[in-house]
Structure 1
Amino acid sequence: MIIKFDDGIPVTLEQMLFAKEQRVKHQQAALEQFNHPLICLSLVIPGPIKKSSGTNLLFQEAIKAIKSSLASKSIVISNEQYFYANTGSEAIISAKYQADELKQLCIDIENHHPLGRLWDIDVIDPITQHSISRTVFDEQSRQCLICQDNAKNCSRSKKHSLDEIFAVIENRLKDYLKSQ
């Protein structure tokens, strides 16, 4: 199987900012309608191409992992919404469960699934209407895929090239698929 991350359409910063505004609107609507915590999934993909054959595969694997984890705890999903745009695929899942416990479950997925580092799984509390931070659970900030430093610092300083980053992402995905 050939995994590609460059077979999509590049997007602009303006498109990404508009997508973020739309995401917030979708989240607010889901909170109002269902009044349950939200699991909000997106991918950790650098560069201008956010939707490709490789990201489609990563997104589907993330959905499987989340649903499997929820099912293992008998957590009821009250609503699921999926958005597939050139700015990246996103999911909003309303779950009937305690927000803080749901966040811990999502942190466990990010920390222990072989592809979890490539996923951004947020949980929004319906009471505060804010995302619950990893630091609430004494979790460190995300580490860089390449050097294990703080990912935000590496990203801001452009410490690693896109080629280096995508080589790591492709290898993780290939290794995972081989193990299945």
Structure 2
Amino acid sequence: MLINFNDGQPIDLAQMLLAKEKRVENQKLMLNRYNYPLISLSIVIPGPIKNSSGANFLFKEAIKALHDGFTENALLVIDEQHYHSIAGAEAIMSVKCSVNKLKQYCINIEENHPLGRLWDIDVIDPITQQSLSRYEFEHHARQCLVCQDMAKVCSRARRHSLDDIFSAMEKKINDYLINTPV
């Protein structure tokens, strides 16, 4: 399978900020409608192209991993919405579960699934309407895909080229495809 992260349209900062505003608006609507914790899923994609065949592959795999876990853990999804735009694919899911249990479950997916590092799975508390932090659950910040330092540090310093980051992502995906039975 050919993984491509360059076969989409580049976006600018204004489009990215507009997508983020729309995501927050969609989250608030679902929080107010159901009053259950939310999962807000997006894909970790550096650079100006957020919607590509590679990003869409990662999104589908993340949805599958979440649903497999819901089934294993007998978690009930109250509502699920998917949004696809030039800014990438996103999902918002209202889940009947304690917010702390749901956050721990999502951290486990991010840390243990072979592609989990390429997903951003936030859990939003229906009471505070804020995303829960990994630190609250005694988990370290996420590691850089290239050098294993803290991802935020490398990102802010622009320590690695996009080519290096995409090479690391493609390696994770190829390893996953090789080791996953069809």
Shorter-chain TM-score tier: over 0.9
Runs of 4 or more, structure 1, over 3 Å off, are none
1:175: which partner in 2?
175
Q: Tell me, in whole angstroms, the C-alpha distance in 1 between the residues paired with 2:114 and 2:19.
A: 28
2:27: which partner in 1?
27
> CA deviation digits over 1:92-120, x for unaligned, max 9?
01000000100000000000000000000
2:62: which partner in 1?
62
2:13: which partner in 1?
13
Deviation at 1:171, TM superposition (A): 1.1
Percent sequence identity is 55
TM-score by length of 2: 0.98
Deviation at 1:130, TM superposition (A): 0.6
Secondary structure of the residue that 1:95 maps to in structure 2? Answer: strand
Is 2:85 the counterpart of 1:93?
no
- Structure 2, gaps ≥5 residues long: none
Deviation at 1:149, TM superposition (A): 0.8
Secondary structure of the residue that 1:171 maps to in structure 2? Answer: helix
Q: Tell me, in whole angstroms, the C-alpha distance in 2 between the residues paired with 1:149 and 1:171.
A: 18
Q: After TM superposition, list the pairs within 5 Å mapping 1:110-125 onto structure 2.
A: 110-125=110-125
> CA deviation digits over 1:37-84, x for unaligned, max 9?
000000111000001000000000000001111111100000000001
Q: Tell me, in whole angstroms, the C-alpha distance in 2 between the residues paired with 1:35 and 1:24.
A: 15
Secondary structure of the residue that 2:102 maps to in structure 1? Answer: helix
Partner AA of 2:62 in structure 1: A
Deviation at 1:159, TM superposition (A): 0.3
- Structure 1, gaps ≥5 residues long: none
Q: Tell me, in whole angstroms, the C-alpha distance in 2 between the residues paired with 1:142 and 1:171.
A: 18
Q: Tell me, in whole angstroms, the C-alpha distance in 2 between the residues paired with 1:170 and 1:4.
A: 9
Q: After TM superposition, list the pairs within 5 Å mapping 1:126-141 onto structure 2.
A: 126-141=126-141
RMSD: 0.6
1:160: which partner in 2?
160
TM-score by length of 1: 0.99
